[in-house]
């Protein structure tokens, strides 16, 4: 017999079906044993009656989270047993036969509620159980829907998804890199990308014109609240594009995502307002202002573009550094100042961030596509000729090979889904999240490696002085 999904049962009263899934709960009512069975599509109440002796005996032994298959007859529930609040509240399965496909130990955490009463470390350690709860299933599946829709939208707009490497070199996004030792060349290291920034610009040099990627990014920051050491960006780059072009494509995609997948949500203002950085700072004291008219409305989405950022800021030691990344270009009217290295504090970048309900949802810029302009940025930051050559030589070369003007953006996908799903933190929308200390409690990462591995890498661990 073909398996039937539980959500299809209500329309098949009188039929005999085969269903498979997890035991949600079992209730003994003397001779009657009730079992709620759960599969990917829903839940159904089943009843084992003493006249099907074998199934009845087995039903007595099953426990929550056991995996079973059942053949049964779908019966309409008697009037007084109908539960209007449940999808399958009008029917129940009379168990004819049952087989246990796998037993389960008593679950370490309860998987039936929303999980808010379970300690987070336990939820992350037993993530395979935690992900069974409907709330997590919904979050992860909706995340998938958003990704699928964005892919389709961008495909129609002429974008091509290209995967870029995870093993690379430092990518200058202002954070610390995770590094990976090379065995073949001991003493050298790969870095995990903080973003695909350089690769996506090089794809513009390579003539792809419109690129995107759901890209995994890695940043080794001290645990700061809601950050993850690895996270996902929807990363995009377009050739021959102005700031307005990049913002328009993204705004259109975001609006379509909300209207299609979250139709009950209201976008406060379309087109999204554009707020200059200085105005945002003066008015709201932040460059990711929460401009919601009603901050208590969980379904209100207030997007805003923040524009006209300063290109440079001073570091603690009095040198200039970039405010976002070194690849941003300047506003046309500031280009001469960049090239002459004058009025540095007044140079405005062609940078735009997107804020959503007080969070930074993403950001991007139109880039310096001329090698001499990128070189000036690096010179202003007091990089030596040798450092420029070593760290940016490949970019300068690529820009010298006929690279069109280009610009792009990246959205923090986790944060966006978190807000759309009304979740309090991004760990609720990441299947296998790390805890606040950057640990994967289920896999026990980071972990020690064997002395053979260290020897192959010619690495030695120095003991901490006590
Ligand atoms: N690479 C930038 C970031 O990760 C985004 C961009 O400028 O496109 O924030």
For residue 224, what pLDDT is reported?
66
- Residue-wise pLDDT tens digits, 411-454: 999 999 999 999 999 999 999 999 999 999 999 999 999 999 99
Beta strand 189-191 pairing with 179-181: antiparallel
**Ligand 1 pocket check: which of 325, 409, 413 to mutate, most ligand atoms within 8 Å of Cβ?**
325
Cβ–ligand 1 distance for 365 under 6 Å, the answer yes
For residue 465, what pLDDT is reported?
79
Give me ligand 1 centre to Cα 236, in Å: 9
Specify the residue with its C-alpha closest to ligand 1, atom 7. Answer: 364
Give me ligand 1 centre to Cα 271, in Å: 22
Q: In whole angstroms, what separates CA 433 from the centre of its chain? A: 10
For residue 159, what pLDDT is reported?
98
For residue 30, what pLDDT is reported?
84
Cα–Cα dist 171/184, whole Å: 22
Give me ligand 1 centre to Cα 196, in Å: 8
Residues 322-327 have a mean pLDDT of 91
Ligand 1 atom closest to the CA of 194, numbered from 1? 4
Helices 243-261 & 134-156 angle (0-180, nearest 10): 140
Is the pLDDT at 161 greater than 70? The verdict is yes
How many alpha carbons lie under 13 Å from residue 15 in its C-beta half-sphere? 13
Percent of all residues in the chain with a pLDDT value above 70, rounded to a whole number: 99
Percent of all residues in the chain with a pLDDT value above 90, rounded to a whole number: 94
Ligand 1 atom closest to the CA of 200, numbered from 1? 8
Is the pLDDT at 304 greater than 80? The verdict is yes
Cα–Cα dist 46/88, whole Å: 11
For residue 222, what pLDDT is reported?
82
- Residue-wise pLDDT tens digits, 370-401: 999 999 999 999 999 999 999 999 999 999 99
pTM for this predicted structure: 0.95
Give me ligand 1 centre to Cα 440, in Å: 26
Cβ–ligand 1 distance for 197 under 6 Å, the answer yes
- Residue-wise pLDDT tens digits, 212-268: 999 999 999 886 668 899 999 999 999 999 999 999 999 999 999 999 999 999 999
Cα–Cα dist 462/26, whole Å: 55
Name the residue with tokens 């070189």: 375
Is the pLDDT at 301 greater than 80? The verdict is yes
Beta strand 266-267 pairing with 300-301: parallel
Give me ligand 1 centre to Cα 181, in Å: 26
Residues 6+ apart with CB under 8 A from 413: 143, 146, 147, 214, 231, 232, 233, 234
Give me ligand 1 centre to Cα 197, in Å: 6
Name the residue with tokens 């970019």: 395
Q: Is the peptide bond before 446 cis (omega within 30 degrees of 0)?
A: yes
Cα–Cα dist 56/97, whole Å: 8
Ligand 1 atom closest to the CA of 409, numbered from 1? 8
Residues 6+ apart with CB under 8 A from 23: 35, 36, 37, 38, 62, 63, 64, 65, 66, 67, 68
Cα–Cα dist 93/71, whole Å: 9
Give me ligand 1 centre to Cα 151, in Å: 19
Cα–Cα dist 155/152, whole Å: 5
Cβ–ligand 1 distance for 243 under 6 Å, the answer no
Specify the residue with its C-alpha closest to ligand 1, atom 8. Answer: 409
For residue 358, what pLDDT is reported?
96
């Amino acid at each position: 017999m073909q398996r039937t999904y539980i959500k299809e049962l209500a329309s098949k009263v009188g039929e005999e079906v085969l269903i498979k899934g997890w035991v949600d709960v079992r209730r003994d009512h003397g001779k009657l044993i009730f079992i709620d069975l759960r599969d990917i599509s829903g839940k159904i109440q089943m009843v084992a009656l003493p006249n099907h002796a074998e199934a009845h005996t087995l039903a007595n032994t099953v426990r929550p989270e056991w995996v079973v298959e059942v053949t049964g007859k779908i019966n309409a529930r008697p009037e007084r047993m109908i539960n209007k609040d449940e999808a399958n509240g009008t029917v129940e399965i009379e168990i004819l036969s049952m087989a246990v496909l796998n037993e389960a130990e008593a679950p370490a955490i309860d998987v039936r509620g929303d999980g808010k009463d379970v300690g987070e470390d336990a939820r992350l350690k037993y993530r395979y159980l935690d992900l069974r709860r409907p709330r997590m299933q919904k979050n992860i599946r909706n995340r998938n829907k958003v990704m699928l829709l964005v892919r389709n939208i961008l495909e129609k707009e002429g974008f091509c998804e290209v995967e870029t490497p995870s093993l690379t070199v430092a990518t200058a996004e202002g954070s610390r890199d995770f590094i990976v030792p090379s065995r073949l060349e001991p003493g050298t290291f790969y870095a995990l990308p903080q973003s695909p920034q350089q690769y996506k610009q090089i794809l513009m040099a390579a003539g792809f014109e419109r690129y995107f990627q759901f890209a995994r990014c890695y940043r080794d920051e001290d645990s700061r609240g809601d950050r993850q050491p690895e996270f996902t960006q929807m990363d995009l780059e377009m050739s021959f594009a102005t700031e307005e072009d990049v913002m328009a494509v993204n705004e259109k995609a975001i609006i379509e995502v909300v209207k299609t997948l979250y139709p009950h949500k209201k976008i406060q203002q379309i087109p999204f307002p554009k707020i200059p950085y200085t105005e945002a700072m003066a008015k709201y004291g932040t460059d990711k202002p929460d401009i919601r008219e009603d901050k208590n409305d969980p379904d209100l989405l207030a997007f805003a573009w923040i524009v006209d950022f300063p290109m440079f800021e001073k570091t603690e030691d009095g040198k200039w550094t970039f405010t976002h990344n070194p690849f941003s270009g300047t506003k046309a009217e500031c280009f001469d100042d960049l090239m002459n290295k004058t009025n540095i504090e007044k140079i405005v970048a062609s940078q735009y961030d997107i804020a959503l309900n007080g969070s930074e949802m993403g950001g991007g810029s139109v880039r310096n596509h001329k090698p001499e302009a990128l070189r000036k940025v690096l010179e202003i930051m007091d990089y030596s000729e040798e450092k420029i050559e070593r760290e940016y030589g490949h970019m300068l070369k690529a820009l010298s090979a006929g690279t069109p003007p280009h610009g792009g953006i990246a959205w923090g996908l986790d944060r966006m889904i978190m807000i759309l799903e009304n979740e309090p933190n991004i760990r609720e929308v990441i299947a296998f999240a790390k805890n606040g200390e950057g640990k994967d409690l289920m896999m026990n990462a980071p972990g020690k490696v064997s002395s053979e591995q260290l020897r192959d890498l010619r690495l030695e661990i120095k003991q901490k002085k006590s």
